[in-house]
Each structure stands twice: as C-alpha cells, then as structure tokens.
Amino acid sequence: MKILVIGAGISGCTCAWRLAQSGHDVTLVEKGRGVGGRMATRRMEGARIDHGAQFFTADDPRMKQLSQSWQDAGVIVPWYDKIPGREELSGRIRFRGVQGMTGPAKALSQSFQVETGFFVDLIQKYQGGWLVAEKGNGTRTFQCDHLIITIPSVQMLQLFERSHYTLDTETMDRLRSIRHTQCLAVLGILDRPSSLKAPGTVTHPVQEIDWLSDNHIKGISPIPSCTIHASNNYSQRHWETTDEERVPFLLSVAEENLKAKITSWSSHRWGYAKPVVTFGRTYWHSTQEKLSLAGDGFGGERIENAALSGWAAADAIMAV
C-alpha cells in the first residue's frame, strides 16, 4: 500500500518506520528542514545544542525494543537516572542522543522516503485514496492509498479547514479540546565551562524556568553551551513580546546558576511543547476514510507516548 505521513516528529517517524518495515511504500512530508520535531538539535558557533526535548525514557516493551536498536547502532546512550539534590525524581534511565536528540528520528528515517520543506496546503479525498498538495510555488503533490497526520492538533484543524474537510462531530470536538503548553527556549554559548555537575542540568531553578542545562557536560557539544526552557506561565506572558524584553531575565538566572557568562544566544518558540489535555485515545483511525491521526496530543506528554501513538496507528493500518 502507498502511504503518506504528514509530520516528522517522533510519532510520524515511528509510524512511517513501522509501516515501511512491513513492506509498505511510505513517504513522509515535513515543513521543516529535517526530521525530529521537538527532538531538535541545533549547531551554533561550534556548539551542538538540544533545544527541544532533552531526553526520553523507555518503559513499554515496544519502546525498549526501539531504544535497544538505537543503542546497538550507536545513536543513543543512557544519560542519567538521578539528579544531584533531586532524589524525589524518578530513578528511571533517561536516554540522550550521542550527537543530539535528533538521532533517533534520523535513524528511523533511513527506512522511508522523506520530503522536507513541504508545507501541506490541501488534502483532497478521492475514490482511490488521498491527494496531498504543497503550498506556494512548489510543484510537489502526492497520491496515497492511506494518509496519516501527526502534526499538532491546531495545525491539523487548520489543514482540515483549508481543505474543506471534516470528520464526525465527536472526533472534531476531541481534536478541538487538545491543549498544549508553550515554551520559550534560549540557546546560549558560554565563555567557560559551567559549574554544573553531571548530568549537567538544573530543573526549576526559579519558578519562571523549567529547565537549564549545559550541553557540553551533557556530552553532545564540544564547547560549553546552554539550553534554557522557560515555564509555561512565563512563556505565555511573554509570547508576543520581543526578545529584548523576555530574554534578559532568563539569561541572568542562567548565568547565576551556571557561574559562566553567556556570550551569544538565540531564541526559539515552541508553540506546542507538552500536551496537557489529550484526545483521550492513543490514536484515531478510520479504514473507511483511509485516514489515521496520531501524535503527542493523542499519546501524551512523554516522547515514549508520542512514539507509541505512531506505532499503534501503524498497527491499526496493518491489521486491515
């Protein structure tokens, strides 16, 4: 079967990989420059910085299977199970990418065709399946027997609206009910090694910051560099303000905790950081519509849950 997946986050990549492994002809389209979604790694002035998801865990046997394959391929390594001074946190192993958090998605993407820089403008149903068209001056279009959409629910609903397409009332209401937090992220270059001890992270140093880490101590960057994740409340309050207004406070807290100066920095806005209200089911699938929906808005907050949402959607398609 010819299958098209929209969205190259870990859910879309896992779904595409699972289907390709079973012999289907799979293409994945992504509006960005690469795969990974929130499992994002950026190069900056000689540094390598994870600026989205910082780690993942593996409890389910399916995720353990994936994790073992990534370890065997040298894509990931165990990072830590405890943070100094935070004994109350779970003792489960956190994994990180050897070259950054994009590693697992890149490994999966070797199994199927990927088209990047592809913003889906319209989807159109016809008797044999779906037609998917690119926005702008691009000439790329795809036809497929089955369509899988794994982008955030807000973008999914916008795509439906542009395409004059709708599902049953209950499903549409569930899609509209999905809610995500927002996160302002700052990536910084440090003038010296930070004072953090392994694993190189501080959680909630102040109420305005959820996460602060040194990517050099983490083991992915050749030079000292930091990641700052603002809290949802701080991010929402400052979402529409300028960097000059919202970033200096975050830098000052980071420098105080790292005992190093941030010599240059860049910011990124994660509009759909963590789902706080989900669809209520791990995925949605319709054989009649030849359509499946998946993602963290279905599976839940953790990277593992997003991946298993894609895995479950793939299994539903293969069960037909």
- pTM for the model: 0.96
Strand order in the sheet with 209-214: 201-206, 209-214, 225-230, 183-190, 262-270
3-state secondary structure of 60: coil
d(CA 193, CA 198): 12
Count how many domains the chain has. Answer: 2
pLDDT tens for the chain, residues 1 to 320: 999 999 999 999 999 999 999 999 999 999 999 999 999 999 999 999 999 999 999 999 999 999 999 999 999 999 999 766 666 666 789 999 999 999 999 999 999 999 999 999 999 999 889 999 999 876 799 999 999 999 999 999 999 999 999 999 999 999 999 999 999 999 999 999 999 999 999 999 999 999 999 999 999 999 999 999 999 999 999 999 999 999 999 999 999 999 999 999 999 999 999 999 999 999 999 999 999 999 999 999 999 999 999 999 999 999 97
Predicted local confidence at residue 3, as pLDDT = 98
d(CA 154, CA 157): 5
CB count within 10 Å of CB 306 equals 30
141 and 30 inside one domain: yes
119 and 154 inside one domain: yes
187 and 169 inside one domain: no
The values of phi and psi at residue 226, to 5°, are -125, 160
Any domain includes 49: no
136 and 150 inside one domain: yes
168 and 80 inside one domain: yes
d(CA 37, CA 271): 12
149 and 67 inside one domain: yes
Torsion of CA 92, 97, 103, 107, to 10 degrees: -60
d(CA 311, CA 15): 5
**Enclosing domain of residue 139:** 2-44+54-179+276-318
Give Cα separations from 242 to 128, 164, 191, 239, 247 (angstroms).
48, 35, 25, 8, 8
- Domain containing residue 118: CATH number: 3.50.50.60
- Distance from the Cα of residue 144 to its chain's centroid: 25
